[in-house]
Amino acid sequence: MQLIFGLAADGRVYPDAHHAVGSLDKDVVGPLGLVQMLETQMGMLAPNVPKAVRIATYLTKLRTCQGSRFWASSFSKDPWSTAAVILGWRDTLVGGGWRGTAIGSPRLDDLAAVEAVEPALPAGLEDRAIALLDVLTNRPGLRIRQIGLADRRDLLPPLWARMFAAFEAIGITIFDYEQPELATEGSDLRMVQRVLSGEPVQPFVGDGTFTMVEADTELMAAETVANWLAAVPLEDLHGTVILASEGDTALLDHALRARGVPALGLSASSPWRGALQVLPLAFAAAWQPFDPRVLLNLFLLPRPPVAAWVARRLARALGEEPGVGGRVWREAWAQIEGRLLEINAQSDADTARRKTDTTLAEWRAWTEVGRFARSEGIPLSEAMAICGRVAAWAMRSDGGEGNRLLMAVSNAAAAVSDALGRLELSVIPALLLERVVLQVLSEGVPNPDHFAEAGAVRAIKAPGALWSSAQRVIWWNFVGPGEKIAITPWDNAEREALTANGVEIDASPAIVRRIEAAHSGVIRRAHGNVILVRPALARDEQTTLHPMAHRLRPLLKEGGAAITFKAERLLREPDAMLAGRILPRQLVERQMQPPARVPVWTIPPGTTRLADTRRESATSLTRMLNCQLSWYAQDILNLRPGRFAEIPGTDQLFGNLAHEIARRLLLPGASPAEANIRTEAIRHFESLLPEIAAPLLQPEHAGELAAAREMVPRALEALVRLLHAQGLEIVGSELDREGIQGRLLLQGRLDLLVRRGDQISVLDLKWTRSERRYREEIALGRAIQLAVYRGLSAGDGTGAPGGYFLLRQRRIVAGPGSILTDSPIEADIDDLATLGHVTNDWRLWHDLATAGTLIAAGFSDTGDLRPAGLAIEAGKEPCRFCNLRGLCRVYQELV
């Protein structure tokens, strides 16, 4: 067996094999690949243990090793980070030859004490390599005969230098891989290669073999590279390598596909893939106070942990009453149960009931929220149960298809469970649990839908992955800061003690030389073209120079325009030349007008019948009188904005609480006694908070919640006082009513219906910061809601005028003739007259829609298009709160 070894060869490499046809007995491996191959041949197979599991085990070892250790102070504040850092130090020492024994240096002896205590630390890569080294000379039968080094041997880390020395001792031939093919003598690329070898700088000839592409944005850089690749037939692209150091070619692939060039398929690993969020969200939902946004996010994932139709129904319930256990929440589960019974109806009744109960139990487990206080932590058994539930969901959702993302979720849940078990704690602190989950998910998962297509261009992630010659190299995103260099934590005395005991530390200067060799190797291994692509902006941040650019600075300064290409030239030059290729660009003689502003809409015959038998509410009538197009789109066609579900704002939540408390306290009959009303309101307030307004329990709303705890009970106390003062009897609350005014069919829900003798009135409860708005509505005769409620409150449509009770202000706002107040607002017209105006205007707008015409408000000439005879004037700002402005384009800018 013949191998090529490269420090960066554990991912994508170029070339893929020794020869174009490949070989079963030849391979290109990195450190992990070499260790796994040796373990297989020597019968020492070991699993790849997640980093979080090793950190958790080491944390337990640090905690077990009591005393005044050097890590004691930091460990008491942040055990997880302390364990992670010290474990990294420990692994580096093991790779350098440390055997876990005391050597007479305090800090190093503290680490030796950790090695001696239980539990046993799962082996990392360094431990596995050392174990192989220990038995290498005693295990004959290795099939490896030759290993070629893609990296300079003198730059190898100490562990791998010892490994290859041991290979030579047992007869395996170690050789430096052949020198790469250099560029043509006299070319710009050859000059750069000479300079990197230490020769003096010479003038460039500008032959295109070495080019720096500068772009203002990544998008323009992608357009330029894609144009350059597409300028020749696809078969001429063999030998082309794209180096994407960030491991992501999504933007470049989009430009390549647009030009018929196969995608490269590199995707950066991200911990934010949809399914991966199930695990952290499942834990986040368990904490008190319960945050409905967490559960809503869980249900809105592309792959929710319950059936999609169930997730949609529960998300709507959370959007209406954000909490668990309230009326809307219970109704949602009742509907879900009913549909499940229908789905299982093909079985007999007992079997259908059993299947339904089993499924409901599985789904309800995801909504068992807010059970544990963060200050107390979560029991280990409960944390394990959450991990098990997530893993089971992922496996069940995968269904044996091997979906990469779902498998990652299952593995992550298993890793969290294993790590938590190794902490040896009965109760897991909240912060520690979040650190474990974050560590497990930190590696992320590439986009499973972004894959490479068969083609001649190859992509790699690391400079060292280019281990042999390539015809042309494009260094995509040639920007800084480059690889980070870890600072050694050991002082001079500790390094001397380590050296005296045979431990070799990989010093920072050696790491710098290794990184520089990998960077310069990219240019040395190209013999046709090298294109360095540097955008000035990456996403929305300004980029910095790549470390290699600093070394090339004398060249770049000397070369100037001869080797620099500005990507934006493609926007103004039809035949720009880049790296020896003409990039033709043709102006498209096509004028495209933006969507026009449309004040008048014509609807096809037949669609108007939808409005003939519908019942209008106060909300829909207000929308119609404000903008006919908005009414038709939202109330007739049920057109809605793109948001699927969202948590209401605090004012709406306080209003919902006040309404529900009023419904429970204000029962039909005589008004309740004033004495206990505030106490009862407080009791209902606290019980309803987690059921219908759980977001208010979050710390960021503490101030508003404290104020509302005082204001809501006082408001209801004031409301009851008003009822007694006016001698009012309660007919009912939250009453669904229907009515008719000529051809206009009405419907609505009355907050509170009261009576005094044979007179009745509607009291509408409002939680608002603005009293002025409602006073003006009544004074100007534009209180459409009160007018509609008057039409609903009595069969003949002549019920007494209603009013608004402003909960925040604890004040009644009502017009003349109302039984609700002795201090009415003077108004031009009463509710009954307003109802007549509404009925008149509804008829005119409805008839216009029936004729097939809709008018969009908000345009300067809309007044001339409105039907004659309207009684209610147009609103001053009809489009201020409309969600459909992109439809009628009322705010389109002129071009």
pLDDT in tens, 616-628: 999 999 999 999 9
Taking residues 93-101, what's their average pLDDT?
Answer: 93
Poorest-pLDDT segment among 108-117, 660-669, 815-824? 815-824
159 and 12 together in one domain: yes
Residue 565 lies in a domain: yes
Q: Which two tokens mark 577? A: 């030349």
Residue 864 lies in a domain: yes
Give Cα separations from 704 to 650, 716, 806 (angstroms): 8, 18, 18
416 and 443 together in one domain: yes
Domain that holds residue 31: 2-176
Residue 826 lies in a domain: yes
Poorest-pLDDT segment among 166-170, 201-205, 754-758? 201-205
Tell me which of 50 and 45 has the higher pLDDT: 50
- Cα–Cα–Cα angle for 440, 445, 448, rounded to 5 degrees: 155
Residue 353 lies in a domain: no
Percentage of residues in the chain having pLDDT higher than 90: 60
- Please say if the pLDDT value at position 558 is more than 90: no
539 and 630 together in one domain: no
6 and 147 together in one domain: yes
835 and 846 together in one domain: no
Instruction: List pLDDT tens digits, range 648-680.
Output: 889 899 999 999 999 999 999 999 998 889 999
In DSSP notation, 590-645 reads ---PPPPP-SEEE--TTGGGGGTSPPB-HHHHHHHHH-HHHHIIIIIS----S---
Taking residues 147-167, what's their average pLDDT?
Answer: 92
Cα dihedral 415→421→424→430 (10° resolution): 70
pLDDT at position 591, please? 66
Domain count within the chain: 5
210 and 296 together in one domain: no
The mean pLDDT value of the chain amounts to 89
> Residue 256: which CATH number?
3.40.50.300
Q: What is the 3-state secondary structure (H, E, C) of 686-737?
A: HHHHHHHCHHHHCHHHHHHHHHHHHHHHHHHHHHHHHHHHCCCEEEEEEEEE
In DSSP notation, 365-387 reads HTT--S-EETTT-EEHHHHHHHH
pLDDT at position 894, please? 37
pLDDT at position 274, please? 85
pLDDT at position 108, please? 94
- Please say if the pLDDT value at position 643 is more than 60: no
Residue 328 lies in a domain: no
Final residue before a domain boundary, out of 129, 144, 176 = 176
- Please say if the pLDDT value at position 316 is more than 80: yes
In angstroms, the CA 458 to CA 446 distance is 18
> Residue 784: which CATH number?
3.90.320
Final residue before a domain boundary, out of 449, 484, 504 = 449
Final residue before a domain boundary, out of 176, 205, 228 = 176
Residue 335 lies in a domain: no
Residue 347 lies in a domain: no
pLDDT at position 696, please? 93
- Please say if the pLDDT value at position 481 is more than 80: yes
Tell me which of 60 and 136 has the higher pLDDT: 60
Tell me which of 80 and 44 has the higher pLDDT: 80
133 close to 162: Cβ distance less than 8 angstroms: yes
Taking residues 345-359, what's their average pLDDT?
Answer: 90
Closest CA to 526 of 265, 252, 242, 222: 242
In angstroms, the CA 144 to CA 164 distance is 12
Helices (H) and strands (E) in the chain, counts: 32, 25
678 and 532 together in one domain: no
Taking residues 459-463, what's their average pLDDT?
Answer: 92
- Please say if the pLDDT value at position 645 is more than 80: no
Instruction: List pLDDT tens digits, range 841-852.
Output: 999 999 888 888
User: 460 pairs with which residues across the strands?
Assistant: 243
167 and 157 together in one domain: yes
- The secondary structure element, H or E, covering residue 389 is helix 380-398
- Please say if the pLDDT value at position 794 is more than 80: no
Q: Would you place residue 412 in the very low, low, confident or very high pLDDT band (cuts 50, 70, 90)?
A: very high
Residue 362, phi-psi category: left (phi > 0), alpha (psi -120 to 50), beta (remainder): alpha
9 close to 464: Cβ distance less than 8 angstroms: yes
81 and 169 together in one domain: yes
pLDDT at position 228, please? 93
Q: Which amino acid is at 387?
A: C
478 close to 548: Cβ distance less than 8 angstroms: yes
In angstroms, the CA 150 to CA 465 distance is 9
pLDDT at position 895, please? 34
Q: Where are the alpha helices (DSSP H) in 321-348?
A: 327-343
The pTM is what?
0.86
559 and 522 together in one domain: yes
Inter-helix orientation angle 308-320/292-299, to 10°: 150
Residue 739 lies in a domain: no
Instruction: List pLDDT tens digits, range 740-758.
Output: 888 899 999 999 999 998 8
Poorest-pLDDT segment among 171-180, 586-595, 676-685, 764-773? 586-595
pLDDT at position 863, please? 75
Instruction: List pLDDT tens digits, range 850-867.
Output: 888 899 888 877 777 888
Strand-pair category, 240-244 with 470-476 = parallel
770 and 872 together in one domain: no
510 and 571 together in one domain: yes
